[in-house]
Amino acid sequence: EMPLGAGDAALFVSQSGETADTLASLRYCKAQGMAIGAVVNVSESSIARESDAVFPTFAGPEIGVASTKAFTCQLSVLAALALRAAAKRKTITPEREGELVAQLAEAPRLAAQVLHLEKQIEAVARDLAGHKHVLYLGRDTNYPLAMEGALKLKEISYIHAEGYAAGELKHGPIALIDEDMPAIVIAPHDRIFEKTVSNMQEVAARGGKIILITDRKGAEASTVRTMDTIVLPDVPEFIAPIIYALPIQMLAYHTAVIMGTDVDQPRNLAKSVTVE
């Protein structure tokens, strides 16, 4: 029951719009006089009905328990919201707004290119399926993607996986590294790429197997030997999380299929968590 102020706003993100703890938080915020916004896939859901503003993702019905297209659509809506807020608050110029809108419009084309990497990703998944533990690493916006990748893998393949901020590697997770624990590193060639390469060197020095997800420039600049490198198209930083979410989801999918698990209905999971 954190202190909240009337006149502030709260934004809630939910695929189903029925998640119990999210709905309870919404009602608490609303009781404090806050304005409520909702990013949901089901426009008739409880969260949508009880919100002041609804931002639908239009992902369409999602049958599988593990969210994939709902996640990427949520990222797209949140990016559009951030862009519009920046324009209204005049923290970006109209020219910059136009550039970022154009980048968002390019996301479907770039996503289609990533889907053409399916054969390579399936081959990587065959190696991954033989391991019991997997580590995901990323910096900045790639850290949440590391957690997303780990979540998807554990949800549908039942392989234990953890996502960590690469900068935290030497604060504990590095103790887990050995030749039996692959590390999946999400690292486009951006302003912090060199720092992530340093983390990869730490993993490699301890016998860890590295699967690098990067772009052409990142693949050329990396000095670390990898188990495999998945090279994505060059992507603007603004939309990189949307595009880089795809290979980690595909990797989890193919690993689960190879292991023979039920990808759409994993054990012990439900599509919507309606109890706290």
Sequence ranges of the domains in the chain: 9-110, 114-259
Query: Are 9-110 and 114-259 equal in CATH topology?
Result: yes
One CATH from 3.40.50.1820, 3.20.20.10, 3.40.50.300, 3.40.50.10490 for 114-259: 3.40.50.10490
As a whole number, mean pLDDT of residues 216-235 equals 94
- Sorted by sequence, the CB contacts under 8 Å of residue 163 that are 6+ apart come out as 136, 137, 138, 143, 145, 146, 147, 148, 149, 150, 151
Write out the DSSP string of 262-275.
Answer: -SSS-TT--SS---
| Owner of token pair 């809506």 | 77
Q: How far is CA 7 from the centre of its chain?
A: 31
Q: Sorting pLDDT into bands at 50, 70 and 90, what band is 275?
A: low
Query: For the structural domain made of 9-110, what CATH number should be given?
Result: 3.40.50.10490
Q: Sorting pLDDT into bands at 50, 70 and 90, what band is 274?
A: low
As a whole number, mean pLDDT of residues 89-110 equals 97
Say what the pLDDT of residue 176 is: 84
Residue of 187, 174, 250 lying closest to 220 (CA atoms)? 187
Q: Sorting pLDDT into bands at 50, 70 and 90, what band is 213?
A: very high
Residue 1, pLDDT > 80, answer: no
**DSSP assignment, residue 169?**
G
